[in-house]
Amino acid sequence: MIDSIFGEAAEKMNEDRDLACLPATIGTFLPWMYGHRIAWVTPWIAASFLLSVAACATRSAWAQDTVSVSGDVSCGYCVVTFDTVAVIGGLDGPGHHLITHLSRVAVDSRGRIVVVAPQFPELSVFDSTGAFIRTVGRGGEGPGEYQFITHLAAGFGYIHVFDHLGRTLLDHDFSVVRVDRFPGTTTGGFAADANRVVFAADVPTQAMVGHTLHVLSSSGDMKSAGGHDRLYSSWTSERLSAVTGNAEIALALHKYPNRITRWDLVPDPVVSKVFQRATAEFDKHDQELWPRSYNRAAMLDANGLWVLWSAPDPEWTPQKLGPDYQPVAPPNTLTDSWLDLVDPTTGSTVARYHTDETLIGFASGSRYVILYRESDAGVPSITLLRPTMSRSRAPPD
């Protein structure tokens, strides 16, 4: 009974952060006004007061832990360049039907390149040069069968395949190790170590609903966090576009607004810092129109946090989507791509790369950026690029 009362009260407070401190004020002044005449409701006031104090304290922590940072580049001498690793694509080649602007890519422990696309229930496997090897999987609901694959996470000898049915864990031979069933759409994730995968998803189950970040072990144990955190109480409609990190931290990239949330993973996931980025080119666009600016992907390496985002092409006029406006055009004519190198400890932008081509993400299990192209004849391809940040002797022109 008490648990039910506290739970319902806490859920009500989560609905409106601005009213969360009101019960504490009422609980403080009502006894002074009415004295012992309200002694019979003291337990209710006490419960409301304790919950409100916790909410207000967390709200203060929210304000203290959120840091507004400029998105301006801090290093005028820093330059981002790329080395080409592999190109995959062509007309009617085996496995090439999975090459789209929605493709997800991973590189396994043997250097093989794995490509998926949401509309196909299978994985195409290529060698490190881009030559086709095999296809894995098929449509269905059994082990090794998939429905609408949304993300791959590779590392430590495994490949985690996320689809609308849950997570399938594959070994280096692409054999099914285990299957964990849960509904939802996974927008990003990474292998934290050999035993854990961290992922962002909206999962409508009793244990996971409302939570934004999940840690799933190789044995199927799940920890979910974020749903009752004040940092997320009023952002329930917001989607995370990506999450990256290592064994100790996770860095969650919000699709919009332009925000990075840092989580400490040990012993349990908890938010430690939020960076609210102010980037003029990102912020100036109307989010009610399409195309719009949004964060696409993230990757953490020894250089720092690489953040990939898109904004409308200057030559394209954004409009409201509707029956009279359904644009069909090559992706590079709709949006430009921006790649920022961010200091994960301060949130400052160290370097930036801008191109009118279409960068669609990072290849999980690697340091590669994915470049998507279409030929004049409409033939798609993806190119894996290795980014490098260097310092020039003089400021760039």
H or E element at residue 349: strand 349-355
Please check whether residues 239 and 137 belong to one and the same domain.
Answer: yes
Q: Is the same domain home to 339 and 360?
A: yes
Where in the sequence is the domain holding 56, given as residue range(s)? Answer: 2-66
> Are 43 and 58 spatial neighbours (Cβ–Cβ below 8 Å)?
no
What pLDDT is attached to residue 397? Answer: 55
Residues 46 and 111 in one domain: no
Using DSSP's 3-state secondary structure scheme, residue 57 falls into helix
CB-based contacts of 277: which residues, under 8 Å, 6+ apart? 69, 70, 71, 258, 259, 260, 347, 349
Predicted TM-score of the model (pTM): 0.82
Cβ within 8 Å of residue 31, ≥6 positions away? 38, 42, 45
Say whether the peptide bond before residue 257 is cis (omega within 30 degrees of 0): yes
**Confidence at residue 380, expressed as pLDDT on a 0 to 100 scale:** 95
Residues 180, 213, single domain; the answer is yes
Give the C-alpha distances (Å, rounded to integers) separating 155 from 31, 110, 149, 152.
59, 10, 18, 10
Choose one of 13, 43, 66: the last residue of a domain. Answer: 66
C-alpha closest to that of 111 among 383, 374, 366, 396: 366
303 and 202 housed in the same domain: yes
Q: Are residues 135 and 104 both part of a single domain?
A: yes
Whether 76 and 94 share a structural domain: yes
Residue 91: the pLDDT is 79
The pLDDT value recorded for residue 238 is: 52
Q: What is the pLDDT of residue 247?
A: 97
Q: How many helices (H) and strands (E) does the chain have?
A: 5, 27
Residue 172 belongs to a domain:
yes
- The predicted pLDDT at position 216 comes to 96
Q: Is residue 397 part of a domain?
A: no
Verify that 249 and 223 share a domain, yes or no.
yes
In a domain, 215, yes or no: yes
Specify the 3-state DSSP secondary structure of 305. Answer: strand
Taking only the tens of pLDDT, the chain with its 397 residues reads 333 333 333 333 333 434 444 443 344 333 333 343 334 344 434 434 433 433 343 333 344 478 999 999 999 899 999 999 999 998 788 999 999 999 999 999 999 999 999 999 999 999 999 999 999 999 999 999 999 999 999 999 999 999 999 999 999 999 999 999 999 899 999 999 999 999 999 888 777 777 889 999 999 999 998 764 433 333 333 578 899 999 999 999 999 899 999 999 999 999 999 999 999 999 999 999 989 999 999 999 999 999 999 999 999 888 887 777 667 788 889 999 999 999 999 999 999 999 999 999 999 999 999 999 999 888 999 999 999 999 876 655 5
Note whether 77 and 21 are same-domain residues.
no
Q: Which of 66, 95, 120 is the last residue of a domain?
A: 66
Among 16, 48, 66, the domain boundary falls at: 66
Q: How far apart are CA 365 and CA 113, in angstroms?
A: 10
| Residue 393 pLDDT | 63
State both tokens at 376. Answer: 């004049």
How many domains are contained in the chain? 2
